[in-house]
Structure 1
Amino acid sequence: MSSATLEVAPSLPVEAVPAADMTHEHFMENYFKPRVPVLLKNACAHWDFMRKWTRDYLTGEMGDFQCTVARDSRPAYSKEKCSLREYFQQYAHLSTMTFETFEPENQHLPRLLEDIPLPNPFFARTGINAYFFFHANADGGSLPHCHMDAFNLLQYGTKHWVMYDADPEVAPQGWEVLKQCHEDYGAGTFSRDWFAEGPEQVRRAGVATYECEQQAGDIVFIPEHFSHAILNLAENQGMVIITKRPGKVYKKEAGSGYSPNKAQLKV
């Protein structure tokens, strides 16, 4: 479908909700089930990881974790590996993530999750599919991509988000826009390149975008199949929790990025 035949779609703010009084029931009914992105203000501000995750603590307690060194804004395609200790010693001017799948039935809680309260108003241990620690440089970020439902917990820093629905069945135009983005932004490209014109191009294709700015202590909920791009406004660090929808069957796909969703695209 030609974008010339479509009306320019709006840029909408992601709803910012104070999380202090948020109940699990309210979150599920108003955001999770209907697939509505939301900025949960100060939702993790008092969780243990916020005060404990200094560089010395991470290298001392979790320094042997294998992580990915990202030299562009497509971390899921990066092949360069090292320990978290080596990353902070040699590559902290770049970006990294330590991606791990999770088996809820395992009696031993992984070290990276010990400082995250489970359950909390947004997700429980039984729903977690995967998780990863991230550290990212200023002016970096992630190009548009999508996966299962995710919760981005920011320990420090500031991030600018742009999201849009790219579900192949619910929002086929958004899905086509996302596929085109992956053709246009290959290896060696950065989110700052996309942010210069990408959001406007999405809207000119008739797809509404949602934007917000995340601060330390905030959680951003990204619904499944919502394309999302991040521009780091400062050095940042935190955790991402990826969850499964209750009652939904997921099939493993060879070469998938963050999750076993068939209709995902990775960056």
Structure 2
Amino acid sequence: MEPYFQYTEIERVEKLTRQEFLEKYYRPQKPVVITNQIEDWPAFEKWNFGFLKEVAGDKTVPLYDSRKTDYTKKVNEPDYTMTMSRYIDILEKGPTDLRIFLYNLLKDVPSMKADMKWPELGIRLLKNLPLVFFGGEGAKVFMHYDIDFPNIFHIHFEGRKQCVLVSPDDTKYMYRLPYSWLCHEDIDFDNPDFEKFPALRRVKPFITHLSHGEMLYMPEGWWHYMKYETPGFSLSLRSLAGRPRHLLKGLLNVAVIRHYDNWMRRRKGQAWLDYKDAEAIRRTNALLE
């Protein structure tokens, strides 16, 4: 068997109507790349690194690197902070693994809200949570699904970004860490080790490459792994989960599971993370026996 995944390309379509999106993608929970959907946004022409240095250069931003989970940190606690201007300078100098993750930039720079429009595609988006994500050339985001099971419109700006998605139907083969929404962090989704992680052979991943202005729809609970092929940034617009079981799981994750995981990190330290790694392998490989 080939030592790489056999990917399916995510469907790409031009601008969708509300009815087309709901019938063909939202109701069947099918990912899609939508082009020509934001060309009428002022952001389409304005949003680039130079513009961000002007309007947000003095803002302090949260940064993450490629290290594995650190038991001394809470879930999603940043590794560093610095000004946006300094961070963009680093991005423009060359490859770096430093990323901005889950940052509500438009809350800190509300004038940017006038540059965008909320897509009217039939789902109610959370207008207080337009989150941005940045990365330098080669930066990677660990394969994960979102804690609250949202529907997401992920709109890319600047450069090019690879996106790999995996259906929730394949979660049982993803070596998901207990009390978490990450897979085992030793898995390299660019070069998977099928000997160490044999269940991955049963995963059927989807792939696409986003360029400036293109929008990826990610349905509820879909796993995603992102790799920045060039420096760039993306805007994610999200809704609450529409499926009752996903809404309940999301609420449980936010209200209970993440706090339990943080408590166990404080109580057990590295032994807790080692347990989760071992248990992810044991549980997943047991399905193959």
Using structure 1 for the length normalisation, give the TM-score: 0.70
Letter in 2 for 1:135: F
Counterpart Cα distance in 2 of 1:157 and 1:243: 26
User: Residues 1-267 of structure 1 correspond to what in structure 2 (within 5 A)?
Assistant: 11-19=7-15, 22-72=16-66, 76-89=76-89, 93=96, 94-97=98-101, 99-100=103-104, 110-121=110-121, 126-128=125-127, 130-147=129-146, 148-166=150-168, 171=169, 173-179=170-176, 182=182, 184-185=184-185, 193-197=188-192, 204-246=200-242, 249=247, 251=251, 252-253=254-255, 256=258
Q: 1:165 to 1:154 in 2, by over 3 A?
A: same
CA distance in 1 between partners of 2:198 and 2:113 (Å): 36
Which structure has more relative contact order (CA 8 Å, sep 6+)? It is: 1
Higher helix share: 2
The answer as to whether partners of 1:203 and 1:209 remain within 8 angstroms in 2 is: no
8 A Cα contact 2:6 2:204, kept in partner: yes
From the two aligned structures, give the one with the greater strand fraction. Answer: 1
Whether the 8 Å CA contact 2:159–2:211 is kept in 1: the answer is: yes
- Residue 223 of structure 1, CA deviation: 0.8
Gaps of 5+ in 1: 1-7, 104-108, 258-267
Segments of structure 2 that go 5 or more residues without pairing to the other structure are 70-75, 260-289
CA apart distance, 1:199: 9.5
Q: CA RMSD in A?
A: 3.8
Aligned residues: 233
Distance 1:26 1:73, change over 3 A: farther
SS of equivalent residue, structure 1 residue 197? coil
Structure 1 residue 29 displacement after superposition: 1.9
Q: Partner of 1:260 in structure 2?
A: none
Which moves more between the two structures, 46-55 or 148-157? Answer: 46-55
Supply the distance in 2 between the matched residues of 1:61 and 1:145 (Cα, whole angstroms).
31
Q: Which residue of 1 aligns with 2:268?
A: none
Deviation at 1:81, TM superposition (A): 2.4
* Cα distance in 1, alignment partners of residues 60 and 122 from structure 2: 27
State the percentage of identical aligned residues.
Answer: 15
Equivalent position SS for 1:51: helix
Q: 8 Å contact 1:17–1:40 — kept in the other structure?
A: yes
Correspondence for 1:265: none
